[in-house]
Structure 1
Amino acid sequence: MNAQTYLAYDYPLLSAFWTMLWFFLWIMWFIVLFRVIGDIFRDDSLGGWGKTGWLVFVIVLPFLGVLVYLIARGKDMGRREVAQARAQQQAFDTYVRETAAGGRSSSVDDLARLSEMRARGDITDAEFARAKDVILSGGAPAGRASSAPSTPGASVPSDPGR
């Protein structure tokens, strides 16, 4: 058994490969560590002491703490991340809709709401026709048009803040 053994460091290219592999694993470890720490803070089902316990466990014994956390709470970690992504997408979609509409609902939306109100019996056909005319003429929104006094001599109470 006098054979010479060659290590990875005897070949410069293999040495570079091992260095890159360890560097990649080191970076991946930090990504997993920070995702676990972020999930601990994001989780609403954990109380303050639970979050503190998991955080101490992950910081004091990082490899074991992260491994145990991923085994114990990994499935819920994915669900929380998906729920957060959906909430962010919904908030973004709402923002885009409001911004594109200029902060005001379109006449189509107003007519649909009026139609629903008439179908429920909240307004009469005459009120519906009057509000529809106001919307189609580009006047005030439907809510203001249907609440206006119907008699010509009636006055609207003035706003004390004006």
Structure 2
Amino acid sequence: MGFWESFWDIIWWFLFAFIFISYLFALFAVVSDLFRDHKLNGWWKAVWMIFLIFVPFLTVLVYLIARGTGMAKRNAAAAESARSASEAYIQQVAGSSPSEEIAKAKALLDAGTISADEYNTIKTKALS
């Protein structure tokens, strides 16, 4: 009887594949969290990495138990930082409101930097 001939062999294979892939996700999350944590000393990072190399499964479990709360806080802080940077970029690229554009153009007109025709062009463009 071959490996793929038994239904339960297939089920066990998928179960072990799922567990292994889940372990790899946890391992990569731990390694990325180690390098993201700026409060942890470099020597402690090296100790964690050595244990991850020689006793990987147990080290991942211990790390998740011992530092899981901080790991979640660092992930939330990174997500918030990325969100605020994205919002700032969008706000910068989007420009200002039409009323602000008209006010800036009016200030330039009053200063004599632009002519009345240029002011009307800017005003028309801002309102459209």
TM-score, length of structure 1 as denominator length: 0.59
The structure-2 alpha-carbon separation of the partners of 1:31 and 1:137, relative to structure 1 and needing over 3 Å to count, comes to same
**Superposition CA RMSD, Å:** 2.5
Aligned residue type for 2:108: G
1:149-160 aligned within 5 A = none
Q: Distance in 2 between matches of 1:26 and 1:52?
A: 24
1:136: how far off? 5.8
Structure 2 alignment gaps of length 5 or more? 112-128
Partner of 1:46, secondary structure, is coil
Aligned residue type for 1:45: K
Structure 1 alignment gaps of length 5 or more? 1-8, 111-132, 146-162
One of 6, 29, 38 as aligned partner of 2:32: 38
Report which of the two has the higher share of helix.
Answer: 2
Aligned residue type for 1:84: A
Partner of 1:44, secondary structure, is coil
1:99: how far off? 0.6
* Matched length: 107
Larger Rg: 1
TM-score, length of structure 2 as denominator length: 0.73
Partner of 1:76: 70
More relative contact order, 1 or 2 (CA 8 Å, 6+ apart): 2
1:135: how far off? 3.1
Runs of 4+ in structure 1 deviating by more than 6 angstroms, as ranges, are: none
